[in-house]
Amino acid sequence: AQSVTQLGSHVSVSEGALVLLRCNYSSSVPPYLFWYVQYPNQGLQLLLKYTTGATLVKGINGFEAEFKKSETSFHLTKPSAHMSDAAEYFCAVTEPNDMRFGAGTRLTVKP
């Protein structure tokens, strides 16, 4: 069965600074990987996904992530943080008929 590990339950950056949220996965088959964002009292919203093809994927709100098979990683980045990026971020991995989430990383953006 697949699993996801998100390193760092809390990340704090200054507005305008680089955002890096780490995700490592394990999967017995080629994975499909996702990043979701959750704002307070809201459901999960898809940021971006990797299925096949290009390993650098771009998502909404200026986020991108790179699939690195050799490192079993799918880290999420954004060059310049916005105050509106403050939220909880979840990495997820799917195999057929199954989707598992990491524990989440809470991003705080300081003015």
User: With binding defined as CB under 8 A, does residue 111 bind another protein?
Assistant: no
Per CB under 8 A, which region of 13-21, 59-67, 75-83, 90-98 contacts another protein? 90-98
* Minimum CB distance to another protein, residue 104 (Å): 4
Q: How far is CA 7 from CA 24, 60, 61, in A?
A: 8, 22, 22
- 28 or 97: CB nearest another protein: 97
* Burial of residue 78, with CB atoms counted within 10 A of its CB: 0-12 exposed, 13-18 middle, 19 or more buried: buried
- Dihedral, 101, 65, 42, 102 alpha carbons, nearest 10: 20
Judged by CB under 8 A, the number of residues near another protein is 25
- 15 or 94: CB nearest another protein: 94
Point out which residues pair with 67 in neighbouring strands: 74
User: For residues 85 and 94, what is the distance between their CA atoms, to the nearest angstrom?
Assistant: 25
- 94 or 108: CB nearest another protein: 94
User: With binding defined as CB under 8 A, does residue 72 bind another protein?
Assistant: no
Q: Give me the residues that bind another protein (CB under 8 A), please.
A: 6, 9, 32, 34, 36, 41-46, 49, 51-52, 90, 94, 96-104
